[in-house]
């Protein structure tokens, strides 16, 4: 495990449980640095690629583990490798493109060349010019490979870790989380598109938001207005992985008469009956899976999200950029056996998500609203008591149990 050298002095947890979160955790630059070392370079798995993003030998993408830039590449044996995107000579970035195909990686600065496994293969002018100059005779190329991460693939999802102590990926996920991934990746998938958005907030504020099923009916008026996702529907929250993983789920069309009555009485956000969509095909959908679940958001600690919002399927990877900035990468996908009509419907439903999404726009915004509000309030704390103070499964989504779970896992893994 990564050695923790210092404990941040400015973070005081008001309670032993996860019902109070000091605002300083979102603003302390020392804590941010410690997270990079302890969480992202420590014994956790970080999502790095879908296998179908790099199908052929030499296909690669550049991405991040925490804020560490990495290259993820498929080698000649079909294996996926991941290493830090930093030349072992003097530290230059090796690959600049978001993706591509290469037989090796050659640094632009002095042409040190690495194979697809990250091993140093040649050094320009190693023997000097006309036997003058060059590297010392005992220079050992094997000592200058790229910094490698371990990679494991589960149902087409590649995860990487820099720690030898990280348990096998399937153990890390646990049975219930692994089963949910298998449910979505039950047959060959097809990429629909990808993009990213900058969030002007600490990365943990977005992870809180993802795990916060309580806000969906309140912040997202599009959901409630068009009856896509309301808290009166059958649903719940699964919390696992020491609190760090979660699934919140619901079934559209299961609103009880009582639930609808509550909404009309204004106890949930009331319906605005005179709003209609000029083009209702925007939200036309079909039942994606036999279990009847129409919405499912899964998070795997620390920063991986798998989304099913009706027929909009996506992976989200959150990349911390600095203490008050992050970048959210989205990969939209469907299935290879989708009909042309299903393909079109998935694309239309993609308007719900992303930086300008009819629903997701508010999630991109709300973290910054918090970041602005807490900047000088770091001695005060957030309150997390909806659904009790415990970290456990919930039969209702009117709960902050999964958010508490995140903090329970965070404190345990950070040792603070």
Q: Which residues bind ligand FES (CB under 6 A)?
A: 87, 89-90, 92, 107, 109-112
User: Which parts of 57-86 interact with Fe ion (CB under 5 A)?
Assistant: none
State the minimum distance, in angstroms, from the CB of residue 219 to Fe ion. Answer: 6
Answer with the entry of Fe ion, ligand FES, none that 23 interacts with (C-beta below 5 to 8 A by kind): none
Q: Which residues have CB under 8 Å from 411's CB, separation 6+?
A: 13, 18
Beta carbon nearer to ligand FES, 92 or 416? 92
State the minimum distance, in angstroms, from the CB of residue 46 to ligand FES. Answer: 25
Q: Which run of H or of E encompasses 411?
A: helix 401-414
State the minimum distance, in angstroms, from the CB of residue 146 to ligand FES. Answer: 11
Answer with the entry of Fe ion, ligand FES, none that 179 interacts with (C-beta below 5 to 8 A by kind): none
Beta carbon nearer to Fe ion, 49 or 384? 384
Beta carbon nearer to ligand FES, 126 or 395? 126
What's the rounded Cα separation, in Å, for the pair 23 and 15?
A: 13
In the structure encoding, which two tokens stand for residue 75, read together? 């080698």
Q: Which residues have CB under 8 Å from 129's CB, separation 6+?
A: none
In the chain the first and final C-alpha atoms are separated, in Å, by 15
In the structure encoding, which two tokens stand for residue 411, read together? 């404190």
State the minimum distance, in angstroms, from the CB of residue 82 to ligand FES. Answer: 19
State the minimum distance, in angstroms, from the CB of residue 210 to Fe ion. Answer: 8
Number of residues that bind Fe ion (CB under 5 A): 1
What's the rounded Cα separation, in Å, for the pair 283 and 133?
A: 68
Question: Nearest to residue 33, comparing CAs of 78, 62, 74, 2?
Answer: 2
**Ramachandran quadrant class, 125 (left: phi over 0; alpha: psi -120 to 50; beta: rest):** left
Under the binding rule (CB under 5 A), the answer on residue 363 touching Fe ion is: yes
Answer with the entry of Fe ion, ligand FES, none that 363 interacts with (C-beta below 5 to 8 A by kind): Fe ion
Under the binding rule (CB under 5 A), the answer on residue 208 touching Fe ion is: no
Overall residue count recorded for the chain in this entry: 416
Answer with the entry of ligand FES, Fe ion, none that 90 interacts with (C-beta below 5 to 8 A by kind): ligand FES
Give CA separation, 52 vs 80, 151, 190, 334, in Å. 11, 15, 8, 12
State the minimum distance, in angstroms, from the CB of residue 402 to Fe ion. Answer: 13
Contacts with Fe ion, 323-362, as mask; x by CB under 5 A = ----------------------------------------
Beta carbon nearer to ligand FES, 32 or 105? 105
State the minimum distance, in angstroms, from the CB of residue 395 to Fe ion. Answer: 21
B/e letters for 186-209, b = 16+ CB within 10 Å, e = fewer, are eeebeebebebbebbbbbbbbbbb
Beta carbon nearer to ligand FES, 112 or 162? 112
**Which residues are at the interface with Fe ion (CB under 5 A)?**
363
């Amino acid at each position: 495990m990564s050695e923790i050298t210092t404990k941040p002095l400015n973070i005081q947890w008001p309670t032993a449980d996860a019902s109070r979160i000091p605002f300083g955790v979102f603003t302390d630059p020392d804590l941010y640095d410690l997270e990079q070392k302890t969480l992202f370079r420590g014994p956790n798995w970080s999502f790095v690629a879908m296998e179908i993003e790099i199908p052929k030998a030499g296909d690669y993408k550049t991405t991040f583990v925490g804020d560490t830039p990495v290259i993820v590449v498929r080698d000649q044996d079909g294996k996926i490798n991941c290493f830090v995107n930093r030349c072992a000579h003097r530290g230059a970035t090796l690959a600049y493109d978001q993706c591509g195909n290469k037989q090796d990686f050659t640094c632009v600065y002095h042409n040190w060349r690495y194979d697809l496994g990250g091993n140093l293969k040649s050094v320009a002018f190693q023997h000097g010019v006309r036997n003058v100059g060059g590297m010392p005779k005992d220079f050992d190329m094997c000592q200058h490979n790229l910094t490698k991460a371990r990679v494991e693939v589960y149902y087409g999802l590649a995860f990487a870790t820099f720690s030898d102590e990280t348990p096998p990926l399937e153990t890390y996920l646990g049975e219930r989380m692994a089963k949910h991934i298998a449910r979505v990746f039950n047959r060959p998938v097809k990429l629909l598109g990808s993009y990213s958005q900058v969030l002007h907030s600490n990365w943990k504020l977005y992870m809180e938001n993802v795990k916060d099923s309580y806000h969906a009916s309140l912040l997202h008026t599009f959901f409630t207005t068009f009856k896509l996702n309301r808290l009166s529907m059958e649903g719940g929250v699964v919390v696992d992985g020491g609190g760090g993983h979660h699934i919140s789920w619901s079934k559209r069309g299961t609103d009880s008469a009582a639930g609808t009555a509550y909404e009309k009485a204004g106890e949930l956000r009331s319906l605005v009956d005179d709003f209609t969509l000029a083009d209702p095909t925007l939200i036309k959908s079909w039942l994606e899976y036999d279990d009847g679940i129409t919405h499912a958001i899964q998070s795997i600690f620390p920063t991986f999200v798998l989304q099913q919002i009706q027929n909009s399927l996506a992976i989200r990877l959150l990349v911390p950029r600095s203490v008050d900035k992050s970048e959210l990468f989205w990969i939209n996908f469907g299935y290879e056996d989708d009909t042309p009509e299903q393909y079109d419907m998935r694309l239309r439903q993609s308007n719900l998500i992303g930086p300008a999404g009819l629903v997701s726009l508010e999630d991109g915004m709300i973290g910054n609203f918090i970041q602005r509000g807490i900047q000088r309030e770091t001695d005060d704390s957030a309150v997390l008591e909806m659904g009790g103070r415990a970290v456990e499964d919930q039969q209702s989504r009117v709960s902050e149990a999964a958010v508490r779970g995140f903090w329970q896992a965070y404190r345990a893994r950070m040792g603070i």
